[in-house]
A and B are shown apart, each in its own frame.
Chain A
Amino acid sequence: MNDAHWLPIIFVGLTGLAVVVYAILDGYDLGVGILLPMDSPAEPHRDTMIASIGPFWDANETWLVLAIGLILIAFPAAHSVILTNLYLPVAVMLIGLIMRGVAFDFRAKAAIDHKLAWDRCFKFGSLLTTFSQGYMLGMYVMGFQTHWMSQLFAILSAFGVTAAYSYIGGAWLIMKTEGALQEKAVRWTRNSGRATFAGVIAVSVVNPLVNPGVFNRWFDFPLVMFVLLIPALCFFAFIFNDILLARLPKAKDRHCWLPFVMVIGIFVLCFSALAFSFFPDIVPGQMTIWEAASAPKSLMFILWGAIVVIPVILMYTALSYKIFHGKATELHYH
C-alpha cells in the first residue's frame, strides 16, 4: 500500500463526511426557509423560525465550501468535470444561496414594510437552492447524461431533496419551538416525511434499473444479505418516526428532539447507500478516485492540517450548539 493508493481513499471519506454533514446542517436551515409560512398573521412564527437558525446558518454553509473545496483539493480533475457539466444549475444554486443569505440580514434591518418582501426572498432563495441541489444530485447519479430520462430523474431527485430538507427542517423546528408553531411543525414534518419516503423509494428503484453497475453492486450474493440492512433500517426509521410524530408534542415536551435525531439517521443511511453504489468512482461511470487524485505530497500537506484542525472545528461547533441549546423563542439578535 502506498500513499497514492490510500490517500485518495481517506480524502473521498473526508469529502463524503463533509457532504453528509452539509446535507444535515444546511438541510435543516434550508428546510426552515422552505417551510416559512407566508400569510401575514404568521409573522411572529416567521421571526421565531428564522431566529432558530440565526446563530448557525453561516457555519452550516461553510460545510458546502469545505465539501467543494475538498473535491477541488483532492480530485481536481473530477471537480472540473462535475462543475463544467453542472454549469447552469450551479449558477442558479448560487443565486439562491445569495438571496437567502442576504434576506436573512436585510429582513431584520430594512424598513418594516420591506420585511415581507425579504421574507419572500428568503423562502424563494431556499427553494431555489434546494431544488437545484436535488437536480444536481440527480444529474450526478446519472453520470451527466442529457437525454430526457435522466432529466426526468434529476427533477424527481429535486423534489425528493426538497421533501427531505423540509423533513429535517420540520424536525429541527419541533425541537427548537413550542406552542402553536411546534404543532404546525409536527404536521409539516409528518407530511414531508411521507413525501421523502416516497422519493427515497422511487430513487432506490430507478437507480439500479438505469445503472447496471449499481444493480450488480447491490444484488451481489452473498453481500446482498448484509447490505440490505441499509434500506431495511431506513424503512424502519421512517415508520418509527411517522408513528412518533403522531404522538407529538408530548407532555413536558418529552422526545421533542427525537424526530431530528431519527432524520439525521435517515440522511446518513441514504448517503451511505449512495456512496456504496458508486465507490470508488468519483464521477459515476467515468472516473475513479485514483484517476482524479492530486499529487500525494499536496494531499499529505492538507491532511496533517485537517487532522489538527477538524477536531478543533468540531469542538467549537459543539460549544455553539451548547450555548444556543433550548427553544428559539429565547434568541435575541445582538
Chain B
Amino acid sequence: MAEGQKTIEIEVLRYHPENDTEPHAQVFEIPFTDDMSVLQGVQYIKDHLDGSLSFRWSCRMAICGSCGMMINGVPSLSCQTFLRDYYPARVRVEALAHFPIERDLVVNMEGFIEKLESIQPYIIPREARTLSEGEYLQTPEQLGAYEQFSSCINCLLCYAACPQFGLNSRFVGPAALALLHRYNADSRDGGKAERMELVNSEDGVFNCTAVGYCSEVCPKHVDPANAVNQNKTNSAIDYFLRFLAPKGGAR
C-alpha cells in the first residue's frame, strides 16, 4: 500500500463448510477511497488478500439483486452502500440474515426459489385470446394497481429484514407475496383463486405481524408489507364470506 494511503477495516463473517464447524469473523484492512462501495471493498479482499472469499454480485448498479449482505446488521445491496458512510469506523459484513449460509457471504436460496414457483409468477389469462384478437389493453389505473409490486429484483433483503421468516422459514414471505399480489391485482389475470389458497394457508399472510421493516429496506420501493397486509384483508373477507358466495379457494 502506498505511503499515506487511507485504509478501512472490513470485518467479514467467514464460513467454509469443509473446515469450519461454525462461522467466525475475520478482519481485513483495505485501501480506502471515498468512491468505493462495500462490494468493491470485498472485491478488493478477494483480488488481493484472500481469493477464497465467496460472495455474489453481477451488475454493480442495484438492478440484478445478487449482492445483498448484512452491512452493520442492516440488509443492504453492497453495490449501493458506500464505505465513506462508515469511514473511519470498521464495517461489518455478514451473509443475509434468516437464510442458511452456504459459504461466506453466499446464502442458500433454494427455499425462496421454491416459493417463487409456488406463487405461479406469470399471467394466467382471464380469457383466452387468439393472436388475431390483438393485445390485452390496460388503463393507467389498471396498471397502477400492480406496477409497484412488479419492480422486485429478488434481492431478498426483505426476507433478511423479516423476523417472522427467521422464526418460521415456511412463511411464504414478503417478496414472494408481493409478486403474488402483482399477478392477482393484474386485470388480465384470472389465477387469483388458485393463488389465494397459498395466501390463506398456514404458511400464508397471517404469519406477518406487521413489523414493516421489509418495506423499509427494499431498494426498489416495492412495499412488500403493503402487499402482504392487503392480502390479510382479502383473505379475511374470503374467510367470512365464502359461505355466502361459494366459488373455490382453499378449504
A complexed with B: no
Question: Could you list which residues of chain A lie within 8 angstroms of chain B, going by C-beta atoms?
Answer: none
